[in-house]
Every structure is written in C-alpha cells, then in structure tokens.
Structure 1
Amino acid sequence: MSKTFIGLKQDDVQALAQQLNELLANYQILYMNVRGFHWNIKGENFFELHVKFEELYNDLLLKVDEVAERILTLGHQPLHAFSDYIELSSIAERKQVSDGREAVESIVDGLAQLVARQRTVLAAASDADDEGTAALMSDYISQQEKSLWMYRAYLGH
C-alpha cells in the first residue's frame, strides 16, 4: 500500500481529506452566518453581541485556514467554491437575522454540528495514525465545547 509524503496510507488520507473538506464547508457557512449576525444585530444586547460575534467569526476564519492547510498537508486540495460549501454543509445558511437570541441559538446549533463532525474526523484520524489531524480536532473540540457551554448559558440553558 502506498504512503503519502508524511507517511500515512493513501487510502486513509483520501477519506480524511473528504471529511476535512466537508468540515471546511461547515466552517465556511457558519463563518458567513456569524459575519451576518455581527453586521445585522439589533436590540438591547447589541454592544455585547456585536463584539462576541466578531470574536467568533475571527476564530472561525482562523480555523478555516487551518483546516484548508491540513488538507494540503495531506496532499489534497481544499474546496474553495461557495457552491461546494452550500452543497456539502449540514449547517444551514442563515439570512437577515437581527435578533440576538435567534442568532445565538443558530450559533449553538452550528457549533454543536462542528463538534459532532470533528469527533468523527478525530476517530478517523486516530484510526489512520494521523496525529496532526487528531491533535487539531482535539483542540477544536475542547475550545468549542466551552463556547457551547457559554452560549447556552447566555440563552439560560
């Protein structure tokens, strides 16, 4: 069985690259959703949420780049067309959201989907002995679990 330049099995890497491209699509849709929330938020929590949404979309954008670079490290090409993101993402595109509670509920849903998807990637990466992808997913999961707790607390859950 042939191996990649980083010593992983080609078949394992092919499957991981596909999963990472699907993760990338979800990140891109959530990023654009949060960007829209930041721009359009209104109401009594405007100042608080405007800042929180900016922090979140900056973090999501960093992770978009890291996931794309991981795909490249595995020897594959990251998707870069928005039409691919729409097709592959399980996170729904959100439009015209200006209500803070609705935006935070959407963020909670999106982060929960990312965490679940990253657990699947983590398991596949571990099975493939891909420590680089596994470590990345593990870091993301622990950060986003805390964010989920905080956003849920904001909602009173």
Structure 2
Amino acid sequence: MEQINIGISDKDREAIAQGLARLLADSYTLYLQTHNFHWNVTGPQFRTLHLMFEEQYTELATAVDDIAERIRSLGMRAPGTYKEFSQLTSVEERDDVTDSREMVQLLVKGHETVVRTCRAVLPIAQEAADEASADVLIGRMALHEKTAWMLRALLED
C-alpha cells in the first residue's frame, strides 16, 4: 500500500485506530445483545421493546460499518471476528437473560460503556488533530447517551 499522508503521524493513526477498534468491538457486541433481546423479549411491554430494540440494532449495524471504515481510512486493519471483538470489548455479555426489565438494564449499561469508550479515545483523536475521527466519536457519544436516557426512562415506576 502507498504511504498515507493525511497530516496525522503513523504513530497517532495507529493509536486512534486501536481506540476505534475498541469502539467497534463494543458497538458490535451491543448490536448482538440488542438483536438477541429483540428476538427474545416477552411480557406486557413486548411490542414497545421489540420495536425499540429493532430501531437500536439497525442503527448499530450502520454504526459498526462507519467505525470500521474510519479505521480503514486511517490505513489500519479493522477487526472483524467474534474472537477479536470478544478480546476488545468492554460490554458485558450475558446469555441467560429472559426478563425484559433486566434486558433494558443491561442495554443501559452497554450504551454507557460505549460512551466511556468514546470518551477515552476522543482526546487521542483531538490531540492528533484528527477531526474526522473526533466527529465519529462525538456523534456516537451523543447517540449512546440519548439511547441510555430513553432506556432508563422505561425503568421508572
């Protein structure tokens, strides 16, 4: 591949891409969890949650593509296997969840985890003057904060 000359050093591009790889793993893990809950939710809020989870996993499917493409734009390989994602993610995975309230609680935690990942990577991108990656991170942060808020609202009595 030709040398990349986009005004960001190789070292900075690698550090940003590593952070984005963690964001990609968190986002993909949250996508899988949300899709799982969409399939398996039951109870009085079934329709509301089923549709809400579908909206959320559809948005996440687009997001993982955007994040992976940003990593590639920096000239780095984007992780793309379950093995890689499981090693990189900070999102808690559980396969024994059947209660809809617990599903919502886990999704709140997952979205908040993604926000924290974004916050950890953002200063690296900003210090390298990588506005494109910073824009991705800020956008993801805002969306996940809003989604966590909406999910938390479902938990109020």
Q: TM-score, normalised by structure 2?
A: 0.94
Is residue 17 of structure 2 the alignment partner of residue 20 of structure 1? no
Aligned identity (percent) is 39
Give the CA deviation at 1:81: 1.1
Cα distance in 2, alignment partners of residues 143 and 86 from structure 1: 23
Cα distance in 1, alignment partners of residues 129 and 6 from structure 2: 11
- Structure 2 letter corresponding to 1:124: I
Give the CA deviation at 1:156: 1.4
Three-state SS of the structure 1 residue aligned to 2:42 is: coil
For residue 69 of structure 1, what is the aligned residue in structure 2? Answer: 69
Q: Which runs of 5+ in 1 are unaligned?
A: none
What RMSD, in angstroms, separates the aligned Cα atoms of the two structures? Answer: 1.4
Cα distance in 2, alignment partners of residues 96 and 65 from structure 1: 28
Which residues of 2 match residues 24-43 of structure 1 at below 5 A?
A: 24-43=24-43
Cα distance in 1, alignment partners of residues 143 and 22 from structure 2: 20
For residue 9 of structure 1, what is the aligned residue in structure 2? Answer: 9
Which residues of 2 match residues 92-103 of structure 1 at below 5 A?
A: 92-103=92-103
Cα distance in 2, alignment partners of residues 94 and 62 from structure 1: 23
For residue 128 of structure 1, what is the aligned residue in structure 2? Answer: 128
- Does the CA-based 8 Å contact 1:36-1:96 persist in structure 2? no
Give the CA deviation at 1:121: 1.4
For residue 153 of structure 2, what is the aligned residue in structure 1? Answer: 153
For residue 80 of structure 2, what is the aligned residue in structure 1? Answer: 80
Q: Deviations over 1:23-53 (max 9, x none)?
A: 1111111111111000000111100000000
Give the CA deviation at 1:4: 3.2
Give the CA deviation at 1:96: 3.8
Q: Deviations over 1:111-139 (max 9, x none)?
A: 00000110111111000100000011111
Three-state SS of the structure 1 residue aligned to 2:109 is: helix
Q: Which runs of 5+ in 2 are unaligned?
A: none
| More deviation, 19-28/69-78 | 19-28
- Structure 2 letter corresponding to 1:77: R
Cα distance in 1, alignment partners of residues 47 and 10 from structure 2: 49
- Does the CA-based 8 Å contact 1:21-1:79 persist in structure 2? yes
Pairs aligned (count): 155
- Structure 2 letter corresponding to 1:5: N
